[in-house]
Structure 1
Amino acid sequence: MNDSALKPATQDIVVDEVFPHAPETLWKVLTTGDLMARWLMAPKGFAPVPGTRFTYQTKPAGAWDGTIHCEVLEVVPHERFVYAWRGGDEANQGYGSRLDTVVTFTLAKVPQGTRLTLVHSGFETPVNDTAFRNMSEGWRKVVPNLRNFVDGGAGNKS
């Protein structure tokens, strides 16, 4: 048996959106704690520096206290921002089950502005099916909605 046969099947959420803004403007919205709090959740202890550990707080469930533990994994200014997203508890089924995933934002300059691609990867099936379903819906609303936060005070339109 090879290693891939031992690994659980996973699913990824992918959201791709083009914004009429410069990569630097979107970058600010994605990597500034106060702005993140406006479009996602308020991060505690956040800095866009590899190795930085920070948390988000959401609705608790069962044995899980609702804390999402994150760690910045990669920062390439104006191009790529990656962090671990971990939470849940082994004892929970459905909402609040153990989750060990990675969120990647990639920015690419295009003639219309900037293409932002979000990939939230590593949802194990079937244990993370509820999280995958809920977060797929969430990211598909949050990412396009970023334009309201860019236009509303993150910087210049470009």
Structure 2
Amino acid sequence: MNDAALQGRSREIAVDEVFPHAPEVIWKTLTTGELMARWLGMTPAGFEPVVGNRFTYRTTPAGEWDGTIHCEVLEVVPNQRFVYAWKGGHEANAGYGSRLDTVVTFTLERAEGGTRLRLVHSGFVLPRNDSAYRNMSGGWSEVVPRIGSIAGEQKEQ
């Protein structure tokens, strides 16, 4: 079998929200480590919004996987686009904790009365990443709206 046949089909998660805040306020909320920890629910270790910067998140370990998510900043266009690699899991695991090699992209656009934020988390290979795809689809839908709440607090300061 060739690599394409072994990989299965690739899926992505997309979440769109419009927030009543300027792109600069949303950007700060997306790219400040302490604020990321609040809306995402995981604290980034070693994070800086600089291309090439490597950082990690920690979550629940499973099987051979220690629960570390390895990330690398791939693109930074202030107030417009923020992209990073999101890798984790282990080859020996099936289901939760299987090997994951994905990319998270945030795109910001001015919208009537605020900012349209689009999150795309791409590269889920099914069936291997079925569990991650299901869990993270619900997770992103839950955490992206928090960005607006935290941005609102920043605006008031």
Q: Same fold (TM over 0.5)?
A: yes
Matches within 5 A, 1:63-142: 63-142=64-143
Shift of 1:145: 1.9
1:62 & 1:4 partners in 2: Cα distance?
Answer: 26
Q: CA deviation at 1:146?
A: 1.5
Alpha-carbon displacement from aligned partner over 1:92-116 (angstroms, at most 9, x marks no partner) = 0110000000000000001121000
**What is the match of residue 56 of structure 2?**
55
With structure 1 as the length reference, what TM-score do the two structures score?
0.93
User: Structure 1 stretches (4+) deviating beyond 3 angstroms?
Assistant: 2-8
For residue 15 of structure 1, what is the amino acid of its counterpart? V
TM-score, with structure 2 as normaliser: 0.94
Corresponding residue for residue 26 of structure 1: 26
Separation (CA, whole Å) in 2 of partners of 1:90 and 1:7 = 13
Task: Tell me what 2:13 maps to.
Answer: 13
Please give the secondary structure, in 1, of the residue aligned with 2:146: helix
Query: What secondary structure does 2:123 align onto?
Result: strand
The amino acid of 2:93's aligned partner reads: N
Residues paired across the two proteins, number: 156
Can you give the 5+ residue segments of structure 2 that lack an aligned partner in the other structure? none
